[in-house]
Amino acid sequence: MPECPGLKIKNGKRGDSFVEIQVIDNNVEKAIRVLKRKLQQEGLFREMKQRKYYEKPSVKRKRKEKEAQRRLRKKMRLMRTD
Protein backbone atom coordinates (compact mmCIF):
# COMPACT_ATOMS: atom_id res chain seq x y z
CA MET A 1 0.00 0.00 0.00
CA PRO A 2 1.58 3.32 -1.05
CA GLU A 3 1.90 6.05 1.54
CA CYS A 4 -0.65 8.81 0.88
CA PRO A 5 -0.48 12.07 2.77
CA GLY A 6 -3.49 13.04 4.87
CA LEU A 7 -5.44 16.21 4.44
CA LYS A 8 -5.07 18.62 7.33
CA ILE A 9 -7.32 21.60 7.90
CA LYS A 10 -6.60 24.10 10.65
CA ASN A 11 -9.68 25.04 12.61
CA GLY A 12 -9.04 28.50 14.04
CA LYS A 13 -12.34 28.80 15.91
CA ARG A 14 -11.71 25.92 18.29
CA GLY A 15 -7.97 26.38 18.73
CA ASP A 16 -5.25 24.44 17.00
CA SER A 17 -7.25 21.34 16.16
CA PHE A 18 -6.79 19.59 12.84
CA VAL A 19 -9.02 17.41 10.73
CA GLU A 20 -6.97 14.68 9.15
CA ILE A 21 -8.31 12.39 6.45
CA GLN A 22 -6.29 9.40 5.29
CA VAL A 23 -6.57 8.41 1.63
CA ILE A 24 -6.55 4.61 1.60
CA ASP A 25 -5.90 2.64 -1.60
CA ASN A 26 -6.11 5.88 -3.62
CA ASN A 27 -9.87 6.04 -2.93
CA VAL A 28 -10.18 9.82 -3.10
CA GLU A 29 -13.97 9.81 -3.44
CA LYS A 30 -14.38 8.06 -0.10
CA ALA A 31 -11.88 10.44 1.53
CA ILE A 32 -13.87 13.43 0.25
CA ARG A 33 -17.11 11.96 1.64
CA VAL A 34 -15.43 11.44 5.03
CA LEU A 35 -14.06 15.00 4.94
CA LYS A 36 -17.47 16.47 4.13
CA ARG A 37 -19.06 14.49 6.97
CA LYS A 38 -16.45 15.70 9.48
CA LEU A 39 -16.81 19.32 8.36
CA GLN A 40 -20.60 19.00 8.61
CA GLN A 41 -20.33 17.66 12.16
CA GLU A 42 -18.07 20.56 13.15
CA GLY A 43 -20.59 23.05 11.78
CA LEU A 44 -18.26 24.58 9.22
CA PHE A 45 -20.87 24.80 6.46
CA ARG A 46 -23.42 26.40 8.79
CA GLU A 47 -20.84 28.95 9.94
CA MET A 48 -19.85 29.78 6.36
CA LYS A 49 -23.51 30.36 5.51
CA GLN A 50 -23.96 32.66 8.52
CA ARG A 51 -20.82 34.66 7.75
CA LYS A 52 -21.85 35.23 4.15
CA TYR A 53 -23.65 38.42 5.20
CA TYR A 54 -23.20 40.78 8.12
CA GLU A 55 -25.27 39.90 11.17
CA LYS A 56 -26.19 42.68 13.56
CA PRO A 57 -25.09 42.07 17.17
CA SER A 58 -28.70 42.01 18.40
CA VAL A 59 -29.69 39.40 15.81
CA LYS A 60 -26.56 37.38 16.60
CA ARG A 61 -27.38 37.42 20.33
CA LYS A 62 -30.96 36.27 19.68
CA ARG A 63 -29.75 33.49 17.37
CA LYS A 64 -27.25 32.26 19.96
CA GLU A 65 -29.97 32.26 22.65
CA LYS A 66 -32.26 30.21 20.41
CA GLU A 67 -29.46 27.76 19.66
CA ALA A 68 -28.72 27.37 23.38
CA GLN A 69 -32.40 26.71 24.12
CA ARG A 70 -32.51 24.13 21.33
CA ARG A 71 -29.41 22.37 22.69
CA LEU A 72 -30.92 22.37 26.20
CA ARG A 73 -34.22 20.90 24.93
CA LYS A 74 -32.31 18.22 23.04
CA LYS A 75 -30.23 17.40 26.13
CA MET A 76 -33.36 17.15 28.30
CA ARG A 77 -35.09 14.96 25.71
CA LEU A 78 -32.10 12.60 25.59
CA MET A 79 -31.97 12.43 29.40
CA ARG A 80 -35.68 11.48 29.58
CA THR A 81 -35.28 8.60 27.12
CA ASP A 82 -32.44 7.03 29.14
| pTM for the predicted model, two decimal places | 0.56
Q: How far apart are CA 57 and CA 4, in angstroms?
A: 44
The pLDDT of residue 18 is 74
Averaged pLDDT for residues 11-31: 76
DSSP letters for 32-61? HHHHHHHHHHHTHHHHHHHTTS---HHHHH
Domain ranges, ordered by start, for the chain: 7-81
The pLDDT of residue 13 is 53
